[in-house]
Amino acid sequence: MRKNILKSIFTILIIVTLIFAVFSCKADKKGKSVLGFSQIGAESEWQTANSKSIQKAAEKYSIELKFSDAQQKQENQIKAIRSFIAQKVDVIAFSPVVKSGWDIVLNEAKAANIPVILTDRAVDAKDESLWVTFLGSDFVEEGRRSAKWLVENYEKLKRADKKMDVVNIVELQGTVGSTPAIDRKLGFEEVMKNYPNYKIIKSQTGEFTRAKGKEVMDAFLKAEGKKIDVLFAHNYDMAIGAIQAIEEAGMKPGKDIIIVSIDAVKGAFEAMIAGKLNCSIEYSPLFGPQLMEAVKDLMAGKILPKRIVTNESVFPAEVAEKELSSRQY
């Protein structure tokens, strides 16, 4: 009798354990793959559009998305990645806020056998087996495009009284240590070194935000005033902050100071139509579907290319009106 009771308890325990295992097993959650994604934050319109694209695409592809906002802090991203590892997600993706300092946590993901996809920004870890692919733009090329557009168009856009013998540029850089800040600067300078009359007289971080962009441009204007001919801003949000600073200083953005910036979000098109911004170099945040395709392929056991580059254009102010209605972000 006692033996039978023990047997029944044992059987019940096994059944309960099995039921628990079935419900907690990620592969059985309606067959959905689980993606842990750590986003940098919402510092810019670009980042917000990128988060939306990823969230929308996850729904469309029926991928369970664990989304974490790092509020621009590397330590928050490291915490999020560790929590994804603990939750045994199928794939981890993240946009690294800065380039360095990822080796340890990426090795932890590797040890747990969880593939990692880098999105938007790269890392400088030596061991490339720590991630399966990097999906994002070529930031060096964006810097080059900004510079090429400038040298090809400055003469016809400059105020009549401005000279061509020296063109003074101020630069608003993105987050210190981030790949877009490092690479956009690199690409811009690579072209500019062939044009010795173009000089970068001030260069400082505006942290990719509107508020900091305004603050730093204020300081540039106080130090250099009317000497400034051109502003190169590494993103739209800093450009828009700087535009406000220029107007408050009693100058005309887009006329007294020629402005080229990166991102090509809707606001940039509106600023171009208003004549306050001269050119926007595109970096599309809409790669959510490409990321989900990559997750699906990984889950199907396919080998991904090590680098997936997104396609982008250059939009000068003269095409802004025509393009605005078709902008999705």
* Residues within the interface to ligand AHR (CB under 6 A): 43-44, 46-47, 120-121, 180, 208, 235, 262-263, 283
- What's the rounded Cα separation, in Å, for the pair 13 and 35? 32
Main-chain dihedrals φ then ψ at residue 22, nearest 5 degrees: -60, -45
Nearer to ligand AHR, 131 or 283 (CB): 283
Within the chain, residue ranges assigned H as helices are 2-24, 45-60, 74-86, 103-111, 139-157, 179-192, 210-224, 236-248, 266-273, 288-299, 320-324
Question: What's the token pair of residue 51?
Answer: 């988060």
Nearer to ligand AHR, 45 or 229 (CB): 45
Main-chain dihedrals φ then ψ at residue 226, nearest 5 degrees: -70, -10
- At 48, which amino acid appears? T
- What's the rounded Cα separation, in Å, for the pair 50 and 291? 11
- What's the rounded Cα separation, in Å, for the pair 198 and 163? 11
Nearer to ligand AHR, 50 or 278 (CB): 50
Q: Least separation, in Å, of the C-beta of 81 and ligand AHR?
A: 18
Q: Least separation, in Å, of the C-beta of 264 and ligand AHR?
A: 10
Q: Least separation, in Å, of the C-beta of 156 and ligand AHR?
A: 27
Nearer to ligand AHR, 242 or 262 (CB): 262
Residues 6+ apart with CB under 8 A from 62: 30, 31, 32
Nearer to ligand AHR, 44 or 278 (CB): 44
- What's the rounded Cα separation, in Å, for the pair 239 and 253? 10
Give the CA angle between residues 215, 137, 156 to the nearest 5°.
Answer: 60
Q: Least separation, in Å, of the C-beta of 237 and ligand AHR?
A: 6
Question: What's the token pair of residue 53?
Answer: 């694209």
Q: Least separation, in Å, of the C-beta of 208 and ligand AHR?
A: 4
Q: Least separation, in Å, of the C-beta of 46 and ligand AHR?
A: 3
Q: Least separation, in Å, of the C-beta of 172 and ligand AHR?
A: 11
Nearer to ligand AHR, 96 or 229 (CB): 96
Nearer to ligand AHR, 269 or 283 (CB): 283
**DSSP states of 39-50 as a string?**
E--SSSHHHHHH
Nearer to ligand AHR, 36 or 180 (CB): 180
Q: Least separation, in Å, of the C-beta of 180 and ligand AHR?
A: 4
